[in-house]
Amino acid sequence: MTDRSLPDQLDLIAGQWREPTLERADSIEDPNTGEVLQRQRATDPDGVERAITASEEAYPQWSSTSAEERAAALEAYADALAPLAPECARLESLGSGATIGTTSMLSFIFHAAFRLAAEQLRSGITETRLEGPTGRDVEVHRIGWGPAALLVPWNAPAPMAAHKAASALAAGCTVLIKPPERVPHGTALLGRGAEQAGLPPGVVQVVHGGPEVGGRLVTDDRVRAVSFTGGIVAGRAIAHACAEGLKPAQLELGGHGPLVAMPDADTAAVADGAVALLTTLNGQWCRALGRLLVPEDRREEITEAIVARLEAIRLGDSLEPTSAMGPIVHSSHLAMLADRVGELRSLGGTVLAPTPLPGGALAGGNWMSPTLISGVDPAHTREEVFGPAATVHGYSDTDEALEIANDNAYGLEAYVIGTDEDAAMDLGRRLHAGGVKVNGTSPMSLHLMAPRPAWGISGLMDEGTTETIEFFCGTRVVGVETSGETRAADAAGEAS
């Protein structure tokens, strides 16, 4: 029988586990059935205060450890987390509705992120040397800013939290992790792993809640860096708070990914790519398909090919390995998506939602067929949907396709599919997005060491294997300058 149980929500504060004392108004649902599994809980203000205090107290010792010592600790952390990865995948699948196949794949990041950060430390990322004017090296030290708040969304929270935590710890920061209130349990396992790895109390802590808890973390002057992945409304509030506190903020705030089918694109390749972008994480991811741009004279052909594939998609229990796509995370999010599709229909859109919805025991779940909407003016399709729905637009030539693709304020990920790879690459170089994938739609990065940038309202500060560690660091430069006599001689020479 499939395990549908959830553990208690527990804070880890100053090395001690405790149940969050506050109950939030909203629930944690089984999105497959609509059943309420738990009430959301929140850490009380006193608990948040104790967590920040413990983080501040643990920071001097943790930041003073050598790169090698931190690398060894991160490897021990990875060793502790690896056996927890299957449970993490189950909890994330049950809570978010993402299929167990997807969460199992992503759970590799849950522990591997710490090994990768250890490798970066051993490569010398936190200390470099330059040849100095006196024959002694000028030293460039990268030092963790201080306690860091890590705020993650509900669509793939534990892997994102792991990447942020591994990077911050490698930099020398202590971390305060706030899991998403709708899907907290997988992320909270990072606390268990820290305890089993023997990390000192206060180095890794977990607190629960919504904006009220996140706001306390972000606005506290003792928290010196914030990394947030989530929505633009919260992102703007965090950016404002960090600006007031003059502290660095790393923000990834969503996207509205265009997929441009080149005039010579293979129909099957376009259909496969569009379906993958609509169904990965059930369409609930920031790099999902927003607009499909196709040659006008091939619109019907390509749309029919996508619909044929969507008709064969099996919507099913997210914990069942044979399910190709699961449910929407929460009934309130499903209602929001229904309103958004209805709005596009009212603007003249033709809605195609061909995937059959489950019945029987799953009939009460948060189900939505992956959806295409055609016939809406591009001027009305500039906003992210954050669900398995995308608009279809015809274009007369690639210049028009480029104009439509770039006509929105986001700039996270874009896609181009074409038989002539050089022509597709040329178009990709003109798309306004931090990442552009040609003839591919995988959720993984193009290269392990490539940055993951965000343009426009999609965010601030690049993420990446190296970039996220560097974000959590301030830089100190130390060296011996030329002697006073040499400077005086140099000045005299310049005057003459």
Task: Evaluate whether residue 208 is within a structural domain.
Answer: yes
Task: Evaluate whether residue 268 is within a structural domain.
Answer: yes
Task: Evaluate whether residue 492 is within a structural domain.
Answer: no
Residue 211 and residue 73 share a domain: yes
Question: pLDDT tier at 496 (50, 70, 90 boundaries)?
Answer: low
Residue 80 and residue 225 share a domain: yes
The yes-or-no verdict on residue 486 having pLDDT over 80 is no
Task: Evaluate whether residue 450 is within a structural domain.
Answer: no
Q: Is 413 left (phi over 0), alpha (psi -120 to 50) or beta?
A: beta
Residue 204 and residue 329 share a domain: no
User: What average pLDDT does the segment 439-454 reach?
Assistant: 92
Q: Can you give the pLDDT at residue 482?
A: 81
Residues spanned by the domain of 418: 257-438
Q: What digits encode the pLDDT tens for the residues 196-253?
A: 999 999 999 999 999 999 999 999 999 999 999 999 999 999 999 999 999 999 999 9
Residue 277 and residue 182 share a domain: no
User: What Cα–Cα distance (Å) separates residue 34 from each residue in 19, 31, 101, 296?
Assistant: 25, 5, 21, 41
Answer whether 402's CB lies under 8 Å from 430's CB: yes
Task: Evaluate whether residue 451 is within a structural domain.
Answer: no
Question: pLDDT tier at 317 (50, 70, 90 boundaries)?
Answer: very high
Task: Evaluate whether residue 238 is within a structural domain.
Answer: yes
Residue 418 and residue 296 share a domain: yes
Residue 196 and residue 168 share a domain: yes
Query: How far is Cα 437 from Cα 457, in angstroms, rounded to an integer?
Result: 20
Residue 385 burial by CB count (10 A; 0-12/13-18/19+): exposed, middle or buried?
Answer: buried
Task: Evaluate whether residue 490 is within a structural domain.
Answer: no
Q: What is the CATH number of the domain that holds 246?
A: 3.40.605.10
Strands 371-374 and 389-395: parallel
- Domain count for the chain: 2
DSSP classification of residue 380: G
Residue 267 and residue 371 share a domain: yes
Q: Can you give the pLDDT at residue 495?
A: 63
Residue 229 and residue 84 share a domain: yes
Q: Can you give the pLDDT at residue 445?
A: 87
Q: What digits encode the pLDDT tens for the residues 95-144?
A: 999 999 999 999 999 999 999 999 999 999 999 999 998 889 999 999 99
Query: How far is Cα 425 from Cα 260, in angstroms, rounded to an integer?
Result: 11
Answer whether 254's CB lies under 8 Å from 384's CB: yes
Residue 134 and residue 65 share a domain: yes
CA angle 373/232/52 to nearest 5° reads 145
Residue 425 and residue 471 share a domain: no
Task: Evaluate whether residue 483 is within a structural domain.
Answer: no
Q: What is the CATH number of the domain that holds 405?
A: 3.40.309.10
Query: How far is Cα 67 from Cα 273, in angstroms, rounded to an integer?
Result: 42
Which residues, at least 6 apart from 109, have a Cβ–Cβ distance to it below 8 Å?
159, 162, 163
Residue 343 and residue 228 share a domain: no
% of the chain surpassing 70 pLDDT: 97
The encoded tokens of residue 204 equal 């890794």
Residue 147 and residue 61 share a domain: yes
Q: What digits encode the pLDDT tens for the residues 358-378?
A: 999 999 999 999 999 999 999
Q: Can you give the pLDDT at residue 267?
A: 98
